[in-house]
Structure 1
């Protein structure tokens, strides 16, 4: 009987300690595949450039008539909240329409949302098939060309990537981003 009580006490203690600690997010564990693309300033950005940094990724395109404007506004809001909290995280928006989204188009698009380009990269410089493979492998996210509507179907999540280049969490990036949770998770990865 004492052994059962002791095991029960240990289990309760372990649960309490886990709940009270600053545990790192571990919802996902997907390694990002190596890449090197160009950003809105035509500078090369690679996975190696992001090594050691916490970053948040999403997928958008400039001609999007549905979710992208809202997602980009939400990412701009996240950027402001990260800045206000003094948290250093890089934002990376991958274009899912690279044939039309050249660096100038991406820069113009993000400028409409008051993006701060010191820590926000909008990437292009690949084919649709390349980004499709990359998104499927590195983020396990949906992506497809909708030829009937001349649009791209893609996921609407924000993805948190740890300093080792592993996706550790995803959040709603469209209708109700959990900003406080994202900031808490970023903070835990920066420790």
Structure 2
């Protein structure tokens, strides 16, 4: 039985991995990766409406979490409801992808103009050992005043990462004196009800992100 379960899990991982790869390769111009994934997973040719992204049965993105913001206030999934949310995982010592993607989020917020008031961008650390609330507050302020930095205990961060299917791992490059965090770097657009609406791969433009946000504001 154990072997059968292992085989089933491996097959599921292979199928999902293949779908994500196919979604990336077959996206139509202007189509988000999440929309392309849902189209392929559902077997249809029409991307889902702005009302939501359908994932295969049993697969969900987002969920319960408890973290703290830069002022030490507790933030849970309920605090993200009522507005659209842009959620990115990373860490303040990140040398490349994190500052790049935070800059994209900041530019997308600027492109939205007054509509940006309906969006809450959130940066969640995967390095709670070094990323204190004060450090997170100082870091996100360099990019945009609307971005909220969240941290917590290692257990709380792990629970949030599981909710968004985020991979992360501590690594120490050869010859380095300190560690880095290897992690996935998708930006998630969550609806007012907490459901996934779009998934932006690293390298998405501010214009693409702003256009997808506008499509989900109705």
TM-score range, shorter chain: 0.7 to 0.9
Q: Which has the larger radius of gyration?
A: 1
CA distance in 2, matches of 1:187, 1:33: 23
SS of structure 2 residue aligned to 1:100: coil
Residue number in structure 2 paired with 1:8: none
| Alignment match of 1:55 (pick from 85, 91, 94) | 85
Pick closer, same or farther for the CA change 1:181–1:102 going to 2, 3 Å: same
TM-score normalised to structure 2 length? 0.66
Which residue does the alignment assign to 2:157?
131
Answer whether contact 2:70 2:133 (CA < 8 A) is retained.
Answer: yes
TM-score of the pair, normalised by structure 1: 0.74
Question: Does the Cα contact within 8 Å between 1:58 and 1:157 map onto a contact in 2?
Answer: yes
Correspondent of 1:169 among 176, 182, 198: 198
RMSD: 2.6
Tell me if 1:143 matches 2:168: yes
Structure 2 equivalent of residue 97 of structure 1: 127
Give 1:27 deviation, angstroms: 6.2
1:158 aligns with 2:187: yes
Unpaired runs of 5+ residues, structure 1, are 1-14
Judge conservation of contact 2:65–2:159 (CA < 8 Å) in 1. Answer: no
Which residue of structure 2 lines up, in the alignment, with residue 190 of structure 1? Answer: 217
Superposed, which structure 2 residues align to 1:16-35 within 5 Å?
23-26=50-53, 28=55, 30-35=60-65
How far 1:132 moved relative to its partner?
Answer: 3.2
Q: Higher RCO, 1 or 2 (CA under 8 Å, sep at least 6)? A: 1
Report the structure, 1 or 2, having the larger strand content: 1
SS of residue paired to 1:86: helix
Q: Quick one: structure 1 residues 122 and 100, their matched pair in 2 at CA, closer, same or farther if it must change by over 3 Å?
A: same
Query: Take 2:61 and 2:49, find their aligned partners in 1: how far apart are those partners?
Result: 23
Conserved in 2, the CA contact under 8 Å of 1:27 and 1:169? no
